[in-house]
Amino acid sequence: MENEWKQNAEIEKRRRRTSRRITLIILSVLLTIFLVTSAVIYVFLKNALEPVDETATKSVKVEIPLGAGTSSIASLLKEKDLIANETIFRYYVRYKNESSFQAGTYTLSQAMSPDEIINELKTGTVMKAADVKITLPEGITMDRQIALIAKATNFKEETVRKELTDATFIDSMIEKYPMLTDEVKKNGVLYALEGYLFPATYEFDKGKSIDQIVETMLDETEKVYDENADAIQKSGMTFHEVLSLGSMVEREAATADDRREIAGVFKNRLDDGMKLQSDPTVWYGTGENTALTTLKDLENNSKYNTYKYEGIPIGPISTVSKDSVLAVLNPNKTKYVYFFARPPSDKHPRGQILYEETYEEHQRNVVKYKPEWVEYEASKEQ
């Protein structure tokens, strides 16, 4: 009996020792999980409450509307990529008991911490509304650009046009901007800077000269040039040719998806030794603002006329978006060689592009759908 009692006591002792070890292991695992989780949460929160990019130098404009709550403001800031996490920002604002945010237009930066952004929004240090606002849409000609600049600035159109065609000014711009070359001064080019004024909305203070306004627009196109310098070199085209082809894509495309497909069609034509035969180049040369191209129009001697002259036209025919530049540099590998644009309609508000492989198929579209353009042009006159 005594031996049996000793054996049971030893078994119980070992059981308790094992139990303590298991308990210690479980506690160690739980402690490790707690410490790791705490570390992860700490790092996550720390990153969420730091600047998105401490090296950022570019300013970001943010509009805070009247009555905007913390959730709306956090969403706006996240949309502009000024904060890392909108949920954390929202709870952080609550934790700090901040609520006195002022409506207005603010100039912020990704280099600012959430605390700095909160203080900026509290102080109401708003950016003064610009005195001059100019919007250059995509695909408009220089004549229209001049009119928009003149209207916004109160300069006379002839004053703007004179400056934009002044030989001394053009030479100074060529010297300043690597993207500009003597190609813009070729005999037959209507406007040296056509295609080089970037389509966007610009805001200026009063007193800006025409030169300063134009240089700001050129700066934006120079950025596109710099960003795509390698691709431009690989394309075998000069930037002037890229913009010229891009302006044709801009004028022909009905939707964003059409840009690369049309660029692919133009590439096929160039590779096959065909003329580009783009109607907008004809209209640019004649100065006509119509979609109905006549046989007489096709015979005009303008160097822009791609029905008469082979290859890429002598220069751009409109403002060119970044998307159209990228479409020219990265065209679709398409089987199509022809396309026909149908006018805007209830079903296709921006028009519709019909692509074909053969001239016969293309001509069937021309015969079938060209009357739509006659009706469309007539409706615009009513």
The answer to whether the CB of 329 falls within 8 A of the CB of 246 is no
86-95 helix and 70-79 helix, angle to the nearest 10 degrees:
140
User: Per-residue confidence at 291, pLDDT binned at 50, 70, 90?
Assistant: low
- As to burial, measured by CB atoms within 10 angstroms (0-12 exposed, 13-18 middle, 19+ buried), residue 278 is buried
Q: How far apart are CA 164 and CA 17, in angstroms?
A: 92
Selected residue with higher pLDDT from 87 and 328: 328
pLDDT at 122 over 80: no
Mean pLDDT throughout 163-180? 95
User: Per-residue confidence at 44, pLDDT binned at 50, 70, 90?
Assistant: low
Q: How far apart are CA 39 and CA 35, in angstroms?
A: 6
Instruction: Out of 99-103, 104-108, 327-331, 365-369, give the one with best mean pLDDT.
Output: 327-331
Instruction: Out of 211-220, 353-362, 363-372, give the one with best mean pLDDT.
Output: 211-220
| Whether the predicted model's global pTM rises above the 0.95 cut | no
